[in-house]
Amino acid sequence: MTPILAAPLDPGNEEARRWAEDELSKDVYQPPEPSWWDEFSDRVWEWIADNILDLFGGSDTIRAIVIVVAILLFVGLAVLVIRRVRRIPRVPKTADSSAAKVVLSGTRSAKELRVEAETLYAAGDYDASVIAAVRALARRAIERGLLADEPSLTAHEVATELVSRFPDHGVELRSAADLFDAIAYGDRHAAAGPARAVLELERAVSSTRPAAVGTSGPHRLAVPR
């Protein structure tokens, strides 16, 4: 049996043109829609061309200078906005809204805060672990009668007060306070090593006998019970 072959495609000029138009009308051949930034930029440049460049006539040199100045002003404004946004205090997602305070008005003990810090560390949430560990450090000092129970205490105030009682850990106490503030107020994140160092500091301070201080010591120190 002889197979029947399909007739070869041999369209006329008009039909070939129509096929080409149909093919090119498909979405894959269409240019992408302009983004909001493209539209905004176009409108800005149109406004500059209509309201500023025309003031300088046909001088290409002056036009170029105006364009460069406009770009520099725009970049400078963007930098100012970014800097202002980055100055806004940032609180770790797992910490509560009182992260700026080391000693809260709650009733959690140093042991509970320590357990929380260890749990957060094991979960990989090093930022929140540092926050909880520094709070445990402050709470334990209060429980031992070494620090006045003032919820408004900051990390650096706690470190300053405890350095006189634990001078061998002065560097670590100040470093822990710096890390606390960098996490609570800045854009820094704690790595596993520094977070573990804060946990070890809390353990070391809690098991160390505090040094005696005179009556001229820091005003926030509590009278030992």
Show the tokens assigned to 146.
């070494």
Each residue's pLDDT tens digit, 26-82: 666 666 677 777 777 778 777 766 666 566 555 666 666 767 777 788 788 877 777
- For the whole model, what pTM was predicted? 0.53
String of DSSP letters for the chain? -PPPPPPPP---HHHHHHHHHHHHTSGGGSPPPPPHHHHHHHHHHHHHHHHTGGGGTT-HHHHHHHHHHHHHHHHHHHHHHHHHHHTS----TTS-TTTT-SS-SS---HHHHHHHHHHHHHTT-HHHHHHHHHHHHHHHHHHTTSS---TT--HHHHHHHHHTT-GGGHHHHHHHHHHHHHHHHSS----HHHHHHHHHHHHHHHTSPPPP--TTS-TTPPPP-
pLDDT grade, residue 2 (50/70/90)? low
Q: What is the pLDDT of residue 222?
A: 46
Which residue, among 86, 70, 48, 85, has the nearest Cα to 186 in the 3D structure? 86
Q: What is the pLDDT of residue 150?
A: 80
Q: How many percent of the chain have pLDDT more than 70?
A: 64
Each residue's pLDDT tens digit, 202-214: 999 999 999 887 6
Q: What is the pLDDT of residue 107?
A: 75
Q: What is the pLDDT of residue 112?
A: 92
Q: How many percent of the chain have pLDDT more than 90?
A: 26
Please list, residue by residue across 125-158, b when 16 or more beta carbons sit within 10 angstroms of its beta carbon and e when fewer do: bbbbbbbbbbbbbbbbbbebebbbeeeebbbbbb
